[in-house]
């Protein structure tokens, strides 16, 4: 009985939240492909959340099979003329189509229609994230604090640079800071990177240089990560903590800024891996997403939906990578086609997709290895 209780706890606590988050993100990604494809006159044969054997489904009046499949780690829209779920053109089938059928097939569509249909998936992910963030900002606002330092920790980068309580941040590397959170977000992804600060002290502007220290921190769930810190904190007295409220239009703008922050942080992390400033162990796969989903679920549905927004940006960005099999790879092929005036040959496309499959599988294995290493400590 205790074993069954443990299994149920695992399923309800981790797997169910993971499936909810992933299904939301995948559904909207594929919905972007589907809607724009329909708008472009391309006939969709199947809309699937998940891969493998079909569990449940139905046919709509347009002849599209909507279904949920057994392996819930992605999804696809299969258009007329696609050989498989990766949208590889079925040249033989297309050659046997009538003129009317070919006009409504994906390979038979004009270049801009194919490009728009492919790009619509990642764009839908970004729109979903912006919408989720906008709703939360519109309803709840955002807690902000002024840029005033309340305490400088001893032997920190800030102490070595001469910062003092009462100092007010103005700019970092020439970028204006608006809230104390802006300072934290700028500093955290830049451990070991020298930066120029302008601070205000007693009405005077002072320029200082410091380098954030790489620091391992631990969140409330015990997850560890390395970030840059300069060793300053604020408090309610100095920072004047308050909730900033937004109109619906302002909330959309804040949602876009929040989504862009995730994009910029992702590119910054990749850059730091390349130059050796950060380790690649923060790259996570399905196991880590499931773990974080379960952790967020303990905080309530609000936190879980916010995680869906973050994951939506990440999946949209991942799919824009110029790797065959991913949306970004297809867009690269279309750019080449626009330059050459003709699509690449079938043999070239086949080899490109094999290379892309190898790259995607390798990335998934590496991410899974990171996940397992994290779990076993």
Q: Which two tokens stand for residue 164?
A: 């003092």
**30 included as an active-site residue:** yes
Distances (CA, A) of 122 to 116, 119, 150, 334, 335: 11, 6, 42, 16, 17
CA 273 to chain centroid, in Å, comes to 18
What phi-psi label fits residue 228: left (phi over 0), alpha (psi between -120 and 50 degrees) or beta?
beta
Q: How far apart are CA 169 and CA 180, in angstroms?
A: 8
φ/ψ (deg, to 5) at 47: -125, 110
DSSP at 277: S
Residue of 30, 254, 258, 278 marked active site: 30
What token pair was written down for 184?
């934290």
Q: Which of 20, 23, 25, 18 is nearest to 317 (CA)?
A: 25
Question: CA triplet 130, 287, 279: central angle to 5 degrees?
Answer: 80
Residues 57/69, Cβ–Cβ less than 8 Å: no
Which residues are part of the catalytic machinery?
30
């Amino acid at each position: 009985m205790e074993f069954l209780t443990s299994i149920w706890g695992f399923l309800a606590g981790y797997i169910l939240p993971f499936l909810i988050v992933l299904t939301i993100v995948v559904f909207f990604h594929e919905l972007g492909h589907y809607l724009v494809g329909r708008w472009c006159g391309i006939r969709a044969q199947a809309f699937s959340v998940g891969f493998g054997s079909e569990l449940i489904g139905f046919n709509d009046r347009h002849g599209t099979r909507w279904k949920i499949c057994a392996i819930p780690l992605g999804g696809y829209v299969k258009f007329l003329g696609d050989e498989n779920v990766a949208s590889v053109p079925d040249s033989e089938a297309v050659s046997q189509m009538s003129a009317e059928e070919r006009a409504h097939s994906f390979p038979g569509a004009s270049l801009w229609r194919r490009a728009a249909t492919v790009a619509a998936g990642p764009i839908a992910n970004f729109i979903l994230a912006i919408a989720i963030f906008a709703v939360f900002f519109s309803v709840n606002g955002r807690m902000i604090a002024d840029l005033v330092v309340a305490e400088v920790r001893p032997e920190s980068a800030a102490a070595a640079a001469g910062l003092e309580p009462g100092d007010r941040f103005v700019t970092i590397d020439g970028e204006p800071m608006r809230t104390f959170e802006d300072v934290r977000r700028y500093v955290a992804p830049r451990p070991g990177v020298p930066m120029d600060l302008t601070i205000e002290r007693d009405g005077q502007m002072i320029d200082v240089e410091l380098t954030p220290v790489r620091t391992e921190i631990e969140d409330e769930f015990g997850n560890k990560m390395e970030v840059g810190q300069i060793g300053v904190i604020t408090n309610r007295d100095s920072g004047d903590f308050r909730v900033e409220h937004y109109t619906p239009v302002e909330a959309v703008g804040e949602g876009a800024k929040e989504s862009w922050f995730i994009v910029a942080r992702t590119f910054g992390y990749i850059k730091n891996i390349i130059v050796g400033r950060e380790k690649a162990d923060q790259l996570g796969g399905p196991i880590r997403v499931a773990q974080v989903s379960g952790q967020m679920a303990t905080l309530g549905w609000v936190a879980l939906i916010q995680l869906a927004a973050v994951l939506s940006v990440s999946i949209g960005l991942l799919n824009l990578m110029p790797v065959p099999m991913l949306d970004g790879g297809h867009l690269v092929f279309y750019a080449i086609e626009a330059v050459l005036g003709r699509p690449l040959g079938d043999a070239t496309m086949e080899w490109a997709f094999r290379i892309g499959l190898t790259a995607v599988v390798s990335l998934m294995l590496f991410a899974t290895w990171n996940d397992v290493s994290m779990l076993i400590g």
